[in-house]
Amino acid sequence: MSNCRLHRFIVGSGLVLVLLALSMVYGSAFGDSDDALVIYSGQHKSATNALIEQFEDDTGIAVKARYGSSNELAHQIVAEGERSPADIIYTEETSPLIMLAQEELLARIDAEALEPIPAAYRDEDDRWTGVLGRSRVIVYNPALINAADLPTSIFDLQDEQWQGKVAFVPTSGSFHAQISAMIKLKGMDAARDWLQGLKDNGKTYRSNSVVLKAVEQGEIAFGLINNYYWDSLVREKGLDNVDSRLYFFGTHDLGDMLTVAGMGILASSDSKERAQKFITFATSKEGQQILTNMSAQYPLNQAAETHPDLKPFSELTPPEGTLDLGEYSTGEAAIQLLQEVGLL
């Protein structure tokens, strides 16, 4: 692996030597003492555990999961190399999968696992597949701002009228993907200007769930998050007991960008056949239903049903040209801009 590629994927949370040392610890905890299938997962723990438990019941195959940041886990796989204990990586975004595929660290996935997922949501070389989708949205507090007064485009957020009113998470993988798409569609200078304006006007938080809580409590008028944080809260409490609402631009604006969580099989895995079975289950109607019911995300297998509490998938209006970010898929340019304006 080239030093340049390795450097660009470091996003501030892990040095190679540290991760390599950690991998030695986790390696002994994961698969050295038994024959369980090992998944490195950056996705929601409850939903992933539910998927694992049903798969274990159906197949008798034991599965162990290690949870963490998708970027950190992918970076650890790079550090571990051929001796990684992981068999599958399950990421919040596709960027880590694209990087691992470029470095030839992922094996090809069988057609049986890929066929239920539309080609637009998987790797053209079959190295990874999308599993779930989620929409970027605005969550707002109606007591502080009316829906009719919200911005008509995400690009409006650099205007001074939104000073002190907007929350965002500069460390969010979905936010990074949004910036990468902005660079692709509008160019580096336009994306830099937008980020600077957002920094000047907005307030940063450490996670999307914290943004949602701040909006709920009336601490700030609105924030940029993924749909499933709010949809999960509504499912838990009921709409009448929630003090915030979702806002979709509805015009193919970048603010309604669709992002995809996905899976890949490590080329170094000694359990590829069992890993193929797991991904086949994850993309099946049954597996997709488990995941979307537990995590309030959108199934990519069209045979599975979107949870009735979610806005119908067919009514989403994501911008065109953002599923394949090309040279910006690694997120390198987005990270660079965030660092330039002082958000990372």
Would you state the pLDDT for residue 16? 41
Would you state the pLDDT for residue 30? 43
Low-confidence ranges of the chain (pLDDT < 50): 1-33
Q: CATH 3.40.190.10 occupies which residues in the chain? A: 3-132+259-305, 134-257+334-340
Would you state the pLDDT for residue 117? 97
Specify whether the CB–CB gap between 268 and 84 falls below 8 A: yes
Cα–Cα distances in Å, from 343 out to 6, 168, 176, 177, 208?
Answer: 22, 11, 12, 15, 16
Would you state the pLDDT for residue 302? 93
Would you state the pLDDT for residue 309? 85
Query: Which superfamily is assigned to 3-132+259-305 in CATH?
Result: Periplasmic binding protein-like II (3.40.190.10)
Buried-exposed string 12-43: b where 16+ CB fall within 10 A, e elsewhere: eebeeeebeebbeebbeebbeeeebbbbbbbb
Query: Which superfamily is assigned to 134-257+334-340 in CATH?
Result: Periplasmic binding protein-like II (3.40.190.10)
Would you state the pLDDT for residue 61? 97
Q: Other C-beta atoms within 10 Å of 234: how many? A: 18
The rounded distance, in Å, linking the Cα atoms of 187 and 128 is: 28
233-273 residue pLDDT tens: 999 999 999 999 999 999 999 999 999 999 999 999 999 99
Torsion angle, CA of 82/31/15/100, rounded to 10 degrees?
50
Single pTM value for the model? 0.84
